[in-house]
Amino acid sequence: MSNNEYVVQMKGIEKVYSNGVAANQGVDFFVKRGEIHALMGENGAGKSTLMKMLFGMEQPTSGEIIVNGEKVTLTSPTVAISKGIGMVHQHFMLVPSLTVAENMVLGMEPKKGMFIDYKKAVEITEEYAKRFNLHVDANAKVIDIPVGMKQKVEILKALVRGAKILILDEPTAVLTTQETTELFKELIHLKEQGFTIIFISHKLKEIKQITDRLTIMRNGKSMGVYETKDISEQEISRLMVGRDVILTVEKEKAEPSDVVLKVRDLEYTDSWNRKMLDKMSFSVRKGEILGVAGVEGNGQRELVDMLFNLNVPDAGTITVNGQNVIGTPQRKIREMGVSLIPEDRMTYGIASSGSIEENVISDRFDKKKFNKGPLFDMNAIHAESEQLIADYKVLCKNYKQQVGMLSGGNIQKVVVAREFSCNPKLIIADQPTRGIDVGATEFIRKKLVELSREGVAVLLVSADLNEVMELSDSLVVFYNGKIAAYFEDTSVLNDEMMGEYMLGLKKQSDEEIRRVCHE
Amino acid sequence: MLEQIGSMIFQTDFVFSIFRITAPILFAALAAVVAEKAGVTNIGLEGIMLFCALFGTLFAYWTQNWFIGVCSAVVVGVFFALLIGFFALQLNTDIILAGIAVNTMSSGGTIFLLYMFTGERGNTAALTSSKLLIPTVEIPILNKIPILGDILSGHAVLTYVAFIMVFLVWILLYKTAIGLKIRAVGENEHAAESVGVNVRFIKYIALAISGVFCGLGGAFMSMYYSQSFNTGIIAGRGFIALAAQAMGQGEPVGAMFSSLLFGFAQALRTKVSGIQGVSSNLISAMPYLVTIIGMVIYAASTMRKVKRRNADKEKNQ
Ligand SMILES: Nc1ncnc2c1ncn2[C@@H]1O[C@H](COP(=O)(O)OP(=O)(O)OP(=O)(O)O)[C@@H](O)[C@H]1O
Ligand SMILES: [Mg+2]
């Protein structure tokens, strides 16, 4: 019997990876035609795994998949695409040095005789961009475009291949509030045109806002399907985590003392001649969390790079407890007590082919504690890894597991575990909770506050406005490479006020801003 | 002495020899470029060329036709390149090891095969005659022009082919669908896979193309450059080509210029070794010295940006 109401029926899906991880254990997943269906669950619950099977990138160990009433065996993405399924992956699947148009037509190139018809490729791109209201620059190289546009290219890539069922795996994790709002408009637009959308996100507000129904997963099993309007955010997180989650952080008032990080007159012009940092000056003190708010691309990324010597400023000084950072090797910077949770965890956070253990000791393997003469003390190293895995609740088989095979959120936990446990004096946390489930987010936030109250200076950069406002003791807003505002006390702030400074409509006086230097 | 060298460099036969010497390196460099673009490192160029050099002469001898000899060398090149592919892509061995295996196998393997097929030991000098060599061509009109004619006309057919191939490889990589796929696979194979590109197939294609170039390069060596086969014939050209690929930043035109640089160094070596009072050991090290200098220049140019920044910084302090 073909059931016309459902476009996708996944029945009794089991998936055991070759390393023995049972990522899906008898999951039932049904999606109705023309709905936006959320797939939710903790990090490592098996969401991406389930979706990869629907897109033919992984094969189920057992179970059946029915698409449009027809039983299918999805052996490769090509087959899935031919069934009208498209997927936007958790980590971008674009070729950076190719143009947007080339990425769009890759694998289905329009031809003129023997050659690619590049003009046609641009035309196709523009036509689809217009039809679906997803504006992209067809001739730009992907490496040069902002994340928001990359996300649109990914969606267009699926649409141009004739997808009617769109899987979006955490599409909003890398987007700013504005970009998310825009994306949602586009998704609703698509839904109105009869597309079916499967949407994975850890952000409960978004789920409530945009989806019709939701399926919750936990530990590789389905916890049931719900009408979004009938279920509260609290209930969702309880079903996901198995307990109540409190995302508001209780924190005592900060008692900041000496300046730890001192940044003065930092300037940087990038290779496209854009002034990304413009006479930037601020200080972070012992025992406080200084938040950096602002629309992405206003100098945050450049600042963080400079603070860890991943890039060199054109002018200005950076010191940590009086010691120069600019041009100092990262190892020395770490010895000064600086730790970094990078925005791009796959590139700067981990070595994905290494084991969890290798990754967590990568900053401390030379310590006496882990060495016996010229050799490693493997017992000490195993013990340390096991301790960290337990403390930070990393979902894995054991410390030998390859980090690249962990779920997105658990990779982040490995990074956080290493960076928080190295006795830091200054933590630079760039999007620390990106792509992390509510339970783990709660944990990381608590830990950050705890560390700061113990006397660590924290610089928190986050695109999540709620997060910066909630977590920071004081806060600066970045606009156009400058500090547009400094708020000594974050408890008086609201979204609207912040929005005005973030969009450059308002700016504090120089004296007011100068206070962040604490001189 | 410098004067002597100077006067040599400005002779037409010297410039002519640069092109002749460059051609085989260029073939191998193009082989490296195409493979590397698809993300497969074909370190077996050296060995594959040696096999091709052998079979080129053998088939030319058996059929008494140089053209069939060259074509057979190409087929053999494709065969060995795909063999490396089979080990690396199908059986999941490390591609570097597979390449090394082919290189190691080639020196003993060719001697064995040569003996097995012909009873000759070590070289084919007894089998080849001038009519089995790759012919040279005089280009009409051009060969009447002084200087230019002496330099550009009268090369072997394959020398011209080598330089034409630079352009064709560029077209292949940047203007055709298969080229787009090759570049995509080399840069982000997951991305390519996710839009339904058959990654393994594309890698095989790239390897096969690199095999074709090894075939041409190998045939050039045994059927023109050295006029017969012996096991030392490739003499590191496969490895120099890998350097040329890297120095040319993985682009066909870049690889051509670096190949020309190596060609120049080799040509100079041949010339200078005739001069009295110059240490021959020093001279034979020259091409490799040039490799190192080239690499240093390349590295220095990428470092410049960082240095400039640092200099600015010091100024401001
Ligand atoms: N290629 C792989 N090989 C082995 N195990 C894997 C692989 N990919 C994922 N896993 C394991 O399967 C489990 C489920 O991972 P999955 O990526 O589906 O989680 P997820 O629900 O998408 O989590 P997140 O929200 O963190 O992205 C995890 O325990 C993970 O370690
Ligand atoms: Mg996931």
- ipTM summary value: 0.80
What CATH number labels A246-337+425-519? 3.40.50.300
Give, in words, the CATH class of A3-241: alpha beta
Distance CA B62, CA B71 (A): 13
pLDDT band at A491 (very low <50, low <70, confident <90, very high): confident
**Atom 16, ligand 1: residue with shortest CA distance:** A46
pLDDT band at B24 (very low <50, low <70, confident <90, very high): very high
| Chain B touched by A314 (CB under 8 Å) | yes
Q: Supply φ then ψ for residue A125, to 5 degrees.
A: -60, -50
Q: What is the mean pLDDT of residues A370-385?
A: 92
State how far residue A254 is from chain B, nearest Cα, in angstroms: 35
pLDDT of A3 above 60: no
Each as own residue / partner, the long-range contacts of residues A372-376 (CB below 8 Å, 24 or more positions apart, any chain) are none
- How many domains, in total, are found in chain B? 1
pLDDT of B152 above 50: yes
C-alpha atoms less than 13 angstroms from C-alpha of B207 in its C-beta half-sphere? 29
Distance CA B183, CA B205 (A): 12
pLDDT band at A285 (very low <50, low <70, confident <90, very high): very high
Atom of ligand 1 nearest to the CA of A395: 29
Of residues B175, B162, B173, B105, the one with CA closest to residue B134:
B162
Question: What are the Cα distances from residue B26, in Å, to B42, B161, B170?
Answer: 15, 10, 14
Contacts of A312 in chain B (CB under 8 A): 306, 309-310, 313
State how far residue B300 is from chain A, nearest Cα, in angstroms: 18
Q: What is the mean pLDDT of residues A451-474?
A: 89
Rounded distance from Cα A98 to ligand 1 centre (Å): 29
pLDDT tens profile A174-214: 777 777 888 898 889 889 988 999 999 888 888 888 999 99
DSSP code of residue A42: S
**Does B177 contact A111 at a Cβ distance shorter than 8 Å?**
yes
Question: Percent helix, strand, coil in chain B (nearest 5)?
Answer: 75, 0, 20
Q: Is A62 exposed, middle or buried (0-12, 13-18, 19+ CB in 10 A)?
A: exposed
pLDDT of A377 above 60: yes
pLDDT tens profile B212-266: 999 999 999 999 988 889 888 988 889 889 888 888 888 999 999 999 988 988 8
pLDDT tens profile A18-41: 877 888 999 999 999 989 999 998
Contacts of B200 in chain A (CB under 8 A): none
Please check whether residue A442 is in contact with residue A470, taking contact to mean a CB–CB distance below 8 angstroms: no
Give, in degrees to the nearest 5, the angle at Cα A456 between A453 and A461. 100
Tokens of A346: 């796959």
pLDDT band at A496 (very low <50, low <70, confident <90, very high): confident
pLDDT of B308 above 70: no
pLDDT at B309: 45
**B188 vs A500 pLDDT, higher one:** B188
Rounded distance from Cα A282 to ligand 2 centre (Å): 37
**Atom 12, ligand 1: residue with shortest CA distance:** A23
In angstroms, how far apart are the furthest CA atoms of chain A? 76
**Interface mutation vs chain B, best among A48, A79, A95, A159, most B CBs within 10 Å:** A95
pLDDT band at A502 (very low <50, low <70, confident <90, very high): confident
Of residues A22, A8, A5, the one with CA closest to residue A86:
A8
Rounded distance from Cα B80 to ligand 2 centre (Å): 41
**Does B196 contact A96 at a Cβ distance shorter than 8 Å?**
no
Q: Which phi-psi region, left, alpha or beta, contains residue B147 (left: φ > 0; alpha: ψ -120 to 50)? A: left
Q: For residue B256, which amino acid is it?
A: M
Place of tokens 């903790």: A42
| Chain B touched by A89 (CB under 8 Å) | yes
Q: What is the mean pLDDT of residues A227-239?
A: 86
Rounded distance from Cα A50 to ligand 2 centre (Å): 9
Q: Which domain holds residue B11?
A: 2-316
CB within 8 Å of chain A, chain B residues 153-182:
171, 175-177, 179-181
Tokens of A323: 């010691």
Residues with CB under 6 A from ligand 1: A 17, 19, 21, 23, 41, 43-49, 90, 395, 405-410, 437
**pTM score, whole prediction:** 0.78
Domain spans of chain A? 3-241, 246-337+425-519, 347-422
pLDDT at A454: 92
Distance CA A6, CA A68 (A): 7
pLDDT of B317 above 60: no
Provide the CATH number for the domain around residue B10. Answer: 1.10.3470
pLDDT of A493 above 70: yes
pLDDT band at B312 (very low <50, low <70, confident <90, very high): very low
Distance CA A115, CA A81 (A): 24
pLDDT tens profile A476-485: 999 889 999 9
Distance CA A388, CA A499 (A): 38
Same fold for the pair A3-241 and A246-337+425-519: yes
Q: What is the mean pLDDT of residues B189-218?
A: 93
Tokens of B290: 């040039």
Distance CA B42, CA B31 (A): 8
Please check whether residue B219 is in contact with residue B212, taking contact to mean a CB–CB distance below 8 angstroms: no
For residue B187, give the chain A residue with the closest CA. Answer: A95
Please check whether residue A345 is in contact with residue A411, taking contact to mean a CB–CB distance below 8 angstroms: yes
Distance CA A160, CA B118 (A): 59
pLDDT at B313: 42
Tokens of B28: 């191998």
Q: Supply φ then ψ for residue A73, to 5 degrees.
A: -115, 110
